[in-house]
Amino acid sequence: MRAGAIHIEQLPYRADPAALFAAVAAEPWAMFLDSNAGRAAGGRWDIIVLAPRVTLRTVDAITEIRSGNRRTRSPADPLDLLRGALGPRVDAAGAAELGLPFVGGAVGWLGYDLGRRFERLALGTPLPEGAAQMALGIYDWALLVDHHARATYLVGRGDQADPRRQRLRRLSEGRVQRRTQGPAELPRRSFSPMGPVLSDMDEAGYARRFDVVQRYIRAGDCYQVNLARRWSVPVTGDPWTAYARLRQLNPAPFAAYLSTPGMRVLCASPERFLALRDGNVETRPIKGTAARHPDPAQDSALAAGLAASEKDRAENLMIVDLLRNDLGRCCETGSVRVPELFKVESYAGVHHLVSSVTGRLRSDADATTLLRACFPGGSITGAPKIRAMQIIDALEGVPRGVYCGCIGYIGYDGAMDSNIAIRTASVADGRLDFRAGGGLVADSDCAAEWAEIGLKARAMLQLAATFGGDPRMAPAAGRRAGSRRRDSR
């Protein structure tokens, strides 16, 4: 079937696209946007893309654009370059009738530190030389799996004899074999930590930083700062095997596995950053968390306590106000609304307090305009955003990379969906790095915040332990399953 300039072919339903993607996970620029792991939390669509027509990778102040054998380097704004690579908007009315979220276009990640290009920030921490801040592919074809309708679609544009399209079709049939050789492929041996899991701060170091944030809050510099802790462990083997385990340990509706040059990204995020479709914008900030409990009565009580918590509601509202302002920069005047406030959403291990902020995008704006106005997400910076980012930079002392950036897509039809890259790890240069943090406000308790961070890192620490990592690094916070938790970071 042809929908305007978009071709759509329905294929037999595949209940577990992860089993298909395993055959290509080691290939450069193979990407898997994975909601299947979060189906219990409402996940519907999985997206697999391979072999992009164009790639964009930003390092330092330069974006390298590759198309076939052609390579160009540009100092221009990365989002302007992305808009140019996508080209004019494509008619996808037929795809919209089927509810298809993606019709081909850009897929990949934007790192938190790309925010330095969009806001005037006086930051003292330099970016690591050669470290990427953005990696996106432009894909003409995609494989989409709809777990609600139990259908699979091959969607895209261009020549239907395109080898990329044919390969995705074979992949959907399970007829693509893993490549066993090639300079770009990591060894196909099981993932394995090669040493202990180390962190960049102990409890005393965190307490010192906590006190600094409190002084800033009392002085009126800020209202909230999201302070994160970093872990790192040397690893060997295939990161895909680690992700396959992560999606079992911590299922999430905005999960992803991205194979980008020099780095693999393993993401189990529960949080939507920005969605755009037919001019309608939505962001769904998470602020407030309570642990799940195996006893249904106690579990319901924890959820009810989260919903009634004045402190959690105040923190959530603080970020809602920030995001209303961000959306107001590119949405029609008077269109920004808050249709949901303090809704409790339940996931595998936690209840979250979630709000929804919506708006109507101005006619002269597009997805890249929206990204520039809101990036990075306010829920993982604090308020006011610029001052909070400056304090984060001074206290963390190491650029965040992909953590707290975003992962997602922008389609040829102008549609976008993206997450906040929390519960996210990267594998590069033989090391797995991950972080966890929490929003600090005036009445935060240092010991409670320290314990919360340990809980949020638990899945990643369990992942390392599963493959033989040092179990002594698992935080004591993990034993407090019945206690209240605030802030989803």
Query: Active-site residues: which are they?
Result: 271, 287
Helical H runs in 201-238?
A: 203-218
Contact 169, 11 (CB under 8 A): yes
Other CB atoms within a 10 A radius of the CB of residue 129 amount to 7
d(CA 245, CA 243) in angstroms, rounded, equals: 5
Which has the closest alpha carbon to 114: 377, 384, 365?
A: 377
d(CA 133, CA 198) in angstroms, rounded, equals: 24
DSSP state of 235: E
Distance between start and end Cα atoms, the chain: 43
Other CB atoms within a 10 A radius of the CB of residue 209 amount to 20
Contact 64, 72 (CB under 8 A): yes
State yes or no: cis peptide before 376, omega within 30 of 0.
Answer: yes
Which residue has tokens 């690094």? 473
DSSP state of 472: G
Contact 358, 339 (CB under 8 A): yes
DSSP 352-378: EEEEEEEEEB-TT--HHHHHHHHPSPG
d(CA 5, CA 90) in angstroms, rounded, equals: 7
Other CB atoms within a 10 A radius of the CB of residue 181 amount to 5
Which has the closest alpha carbon to 36: 155, 148, 143?
A: 148
Task: State both tokens at 315.
Answer: 């923190």
d(CA 438, CA 453) in angstroms, rounded, equals: 7
Dihedrals phi, psi of 349, to nearest 5 degrees: -120, -10
Decide: residue 456, CB within 10 A, 0-12 exposed, 13-18 middle, 19+ buried.
Answer: buried
d(CA 6, CA 140) in angstroms, rounded, equals: 10
